[in-house]
Amino acid sequence: MSTNSPQVAPTDGNGGTPDARQLRAILIAVSMALMAVIASVSGLTVAQTHMAVDFDTSQNTILWIINIYTLALAALLLPLGAIGDRLGRKPMLIAGLAVFGVASIVAGLAPTAEVMLAARLASGVGAAMIMPITLAVITSTFPEEQRGKAIGVWTGVAGGGGILGMFLSAFLVDVADWRWLFALPVALVITALAMTLTSVPNSHERSRHAFDTVGALVSIVAVAALTFALQEGPERGWTAPATLAGLAAGLIATAGFVSWELHRRDASLLDVRLFRERGLAGGSITLLVVFGVQAGIFVVLFPFFQAVLGWSGLLSAAALMPMAVSMMMTSGLTPRLATRIGPRATMSLGIALTGAGLALMALLVSVDGGYLSILPGIIVMGIGMALSMVPSTEAITLSLPREKQGVASALNDVTREFGTALGVAMLGAILTAGYRNAIDDELHDIPQGAADTAREGIANAIQASGSAGSHAPDLIHAAKQSYVDGWQQSMWAGAAVMGVLLVYIALRGPKKAAPATASDKADNTETVAAR
């Protein structure tokens, strides 16, 4: 492909290069905005029972209150990222922060479940406006020699922010009221909005091609349907009509999107031919798998902390902080390592360490060993995920030219969301199957009613122990040991997936971090930077 316009160097919005002080302010602003979005993904999970009681509603409705945010976020990332490229990244970020902030306030004050659902949907829309723009601002503003370090900070917030948000949310639920969960994102939004208005420069694309409306709409259907299927599969069952319908609609829409984008070629929303390149393909697959494993680990860990160890939600969230700290600290150091040994070697090292962390947890976990039996694996995983995520994110953004950074960032985020949903579904299903198979061998002397309840899950088993009479201690011990057995199976499955990914990246990973240029990635586009 060819173009008549060169790729424009980063500017401060007034035609000059941003100085160190402005770059620092930009990074803080987008990190706070990103933290607000990430914290809201996991925050409400710690308040499910409180919301069910306050709204007098079913568990299914509560799950929709949690999931509708992620569904809207994932579905709208790609089209809103592309719109931000065209209309201006700063206006899109400001608008997204405003929508997200107002929706969070409404959610905190919601009198009914219906109002809460609407507020969470609006929050998801605002988050989809914010998330791709935060990374696009970094890649379009920071000079090349500082961009890797900034992406490392962004990745650290994206990876560890969910854990930190979960801890703060659990703390607020314990010491105050679940409605105060929304105070954190609102405070972050207000700070990010003030800093965006004063520090973040604007940049946007000017193209002679019309916006790919058809591609945008088809992408929304594809992502929403597939995300819905992955969310509902574990709850409704993988053969339920709603799950199968969502999966079928998602696959058909995905095929239609690829076909349409190939037809549009240079005027496409996303040039799918770019997936032939090692950077884009390797980075996307790595993020898909790594974030999937991370999300699946959370599904496994929380019942272990709460049901097996008997910990509170706050203490359970605090137990994950070593992973968040190791991830954030390593993310800041990873760009320097990637520059020294190359992105492929860095990604391979990170993937190997992530797999090693899973294997450590599978080997060492025990009921009697408690938290200390999994702590080494948690820390090693945090280091490994940072080493793999930072160069993967940079590989994706470097695969598209500067004027398409909103799309590149959105693709990075969509991959993360898909991986999260897929990891929860896969590792959660393996854990459940392993638990049921293990506990079936331990229930011979348990009363039938209590045994049937115990098969549903470890929390159900502990609840059923009250009706097991003298067999209660045996039932609780069997449930805890069976959970650990299921845990080990899910950890080994995750380690096997990481092993396959390691082989792929070692053979097909990006050889070097070579930035895309407008001359070989775009057609007749121009980046305009203006305050």
Closest Cα partner for 442 from 402, 482, 414, 483? 482
Closest Cα partner for 144 from 326, 394, 312, 362? 394
Under a CB-based contact definition with an 8 Å cutoff, are residues 409 and 136 in contact? yes
Closest Cα partner for 203 from 4, 396, 32, 26? 26
* Alpha-carbon span 289 to 218, nearest angstrom: 24
Closest Cα partner for 216 from 362, 350, 85? 85
- What phi and psi, each to the nearest 5 degrees, are found at residue 205? -100, 145
SS3 203: strand
CA-based torsion, 375, 379, 380, 384: positive or negative:
positive
Nearest-10 Cα torsion for 329, 346, 39, 496: -120
Under a CB-based contact definition with an 8 Å cutoff, are residues 420 and 291 in contact? yes
CB atoms within 10 A of CB 444: 7
Sequence ranges of the domains in the chain: 13-201, 213-268, 276-425+488-511
User: Which residue's entry shows tokens 């897929």?
Assistant: 422
Alpha carbons within 13 A on the beta-carbon side of 436: 10
CATH number of 276-425+488-511: 1.20.1250.20
Q: What is the DSSP string of 98-152?
A: HHHHHHHHHHHH-SSHHHHHHHHHHHHHHHHHHHHHHHHHHHHHS-HHHHHHHHH
Under a CB-based contact definition with an 8 Å cutoff, are residues 513 and 280 in contact? no
Which structure tokens are listed for 131? 């998330």
Containing 462, the helix (H) or strand (E) segment is: helix 458-464
Closest Cα partner for 518 from 528, 530, 508? 528
CA-based torsion, 292, 294, 298, 304: positive or negative:
positive
CA-based torsion, 360, 361, 366, 369: positive or negative:
positive
* Alpha-carbon span 382 to 385, nearest angstrom: 5
Q: Strand 202-207 relative to strand 525-530: parallel, antiparallel, unpaired?
A: antiparallel
**CATH fold match for the domains 13-201 and 276-425+488-511:** yes
Under a CB-based contact definition with an 8 Å cutoff, are residues 160 and 325 in contact? yes
Closest Cα partner for 152 from 526, 522, 520, 513? 513
Looking at residue 202, what is its pLDDT? 82
- What phi and psi, each to the nearest 5 degrees, are found at residue 3? -150, 160
Looking at residue 103, what is its pLDDT? 95
Looking at residue 331, what is its pLDDT? 87
CATH for the 13-201 domain, from 1.10.10.60, 1.10.10.10, 1.20.1250.20, 1.20.210.10: 1.20.1250.20
What does the H/E/C string look like for 282-334? Answer: HHHHHHHHHHHHHHHHHHHHHHHHHHHCCCCHHHHHHHCHHHHHHHHHHHHHH
Under a CB-based contact definition with an 8 Å cutoff, are residues 7 and 401 in contact? yes
SS3 205: strand
Which structure tokens are listed for 489? 């199976």
**What does DSSP assign to residue 444?**
T
* Alpha-carbon span 299 to 190, nearest angstrom: 31
pLDDT tens digit at each of 531 positions of the chain = 333 333 444 555 444 566 788 888 899 999 999 988 887 776 677 777 778 878 887 767 887 888 888 888 888 988 898 888 888 889 999 999 999 999 999 999 999 989 999 999 999 999 999 988 988 888 888 888 888 888 888 888 887 777 777 788 778 877 778 888 888 889 999 999 999 998 888 877 776 677 788 888 998 999 889 888 887 776 777 788 888 999 999 999 999 988 988 887 666 677 777 777 777 788 888 988 888 888 888 777 877 887 788 887 788 888 888 988 898 889 888 888 888 888 899 999 999 999 999 999 888 888 778 889 889 999 999 999 999 988 888 888 887 766 667 777 777 778 887 787 778 777 777 877 787 777 776 666 666 666 667 766 777 777 666 666 666 777 777 778 888 888 888 889 889 999 999 999 998 888 764 444 443 444 433 333 443
CB atoms within 10 A of CB 310: 10
Under a CB-based contact definition with an 8 Å cutoff, are residues 480 and 253 in contact? no
Looking at residue 16, what is its pLDDT? 54
